[in-house]
Amino acid sequence: MINPALQEVIAVLGHPAAGNPAQFLFERVVAHDSLDWRFLTLEVAPDRLAEALAGVSALGFAGCMLAGPLTEPAVGLTTSVSPAAQFAGGCNLLERSKDGQLVGHLTLGRGALDSICLHADPLKTHSLILGTNLLARSLALELTLAGAPGITIVDPWDHQASVLAEAINAVEGGNASAAEDELGSMDENVGIVIATEDNRPIPADFQLPELREDIVVVDTSLDPKASATLKAATNANSCKIDGLEVTACIMALNFRNLTGIETDTGSLREALDEFLDY
């Protein structure tokens, strides 16, 4: 900051913004580290995002996080974006550079991969991704760049599995296959199953293959109790990673990028439990 007397400000922009846990978590982090920072939660309609980002830059915010329908259009409204954001077509984190420009990043896939690595080695087994949303595209890329041996993509919602598989196979080391509507039996090479749709239930006509005890099941929804995928994992005695843990890892990355603070993901998970009253 030019004036050290001014507080650093970070914001989350959403539509809707109400109910977003980012401010609650951030205030826990800055209180723990005694930082004199401020966080704002702001409602922004998608058609006014360009104006909002101009305001973030003009007011000297340290950066902002983006949620919901604002993540994808932001790619075309920033000065530059990271390769991951360019590939997946969205960004959820904007940092202000020294010259005041906003640089877009996508931390969804990296955070989800971090949560998986706490329970399994994704480089030693194949992964099955359900969905092709921004998180799915980001995670598929991160798995590929990390050296995952293979990825199967299934999209019973939008039928875009082949599109994502083709994009992944164009990346060096990419090894992806697509199954648009049904899987049949679970491939014995698959050791990780990731459900990426956080607000759409699995279609009634889509049958999830029978899970195994040795499979790690990830569900990114912030409502684990309603997850059919996690219920199936419970019945199969599979290892489970819920959306609270994934979100905690994503938020830890965001806070580190914006503040330089290394945040304990366990503490963030506990704060999420409190915020969501679980």
Q: Is 181 in contact with 161 (CB distance < 8 Å)?
A: no
CATH no., domain 109-241: 3.40.50.720
Nearest to 230 by CA among 214, 249, 243, 248: 243
Q: What pLDDT score does 202 carry? A: 83
Nearest to 143 by CA among 66, 76, 87, 199: 87
Q: What pLDDT score does 19 carry? A: 92
Place of tokens 């704002």: 40
Q: What pLDDT score does 3 carry? A: 45
Please tell me whether the peptide bond between 16 and the residue prior to it is cis, using omega within 30 degrees of 0. Answer: yes
Q: What pLDDT score does 21 carry? A: 96
Domain positions in the chain are: 8-106+245-275, 109-241
Alpha helix (H) ranges present in the chain?
22-33, 49-58, 83-88, 108-117, 134-146, 161-169, 228-235, 243-259, 265-275
Q: What pLDDT score does 277 carry? A: 84
Low-confidence ranges of the chain (pLDDT < 70): 1-6, 32-34, 180-185, 278
Strands 8-14 and 37-43: parallel
Q: Which letter does DSSP use for residue 147 in this model?
A: T
Fold agreement between 8-106+245-275 and 109-241: yes
137 dihedral zone (left: phi>0; alpha: psi -120 to 50; beta): alpha
Q: Quote the pTM value.
A: 0.94
| Residues sharing a CB contact under 8 Å with residue 166, sequence separation 6 or more, in sequence order | none
Q: Is 91 in contact with 66 (CB distance < 8 Å)?
A: yes
Q: Is 188 in contact with 215 (CB distance < 8 Å)?
A: no
Selected from 3.40.50.10860, 1.10.150.120, 3.40.50.10480, 3.30.70.3270, the CATH number assigned to the domain covering 8-106+245-275 reads 3.40.50.10860
Q: What pLDDT score does 1 carry? A: 43
Q: What pLDDT score does 188 carry? A: 86
- How many CB atoms lie under 10 A from the CB of residue 203? 10
Residue-wise burial string across 101-131, b where 16 or more C-beta atoms lie within 10 A, e elsewhere: ebbbbbbbbbbbbbbbeeebebeebbbbbbb
Q: What pLDDT score does 219 carry? A: 95
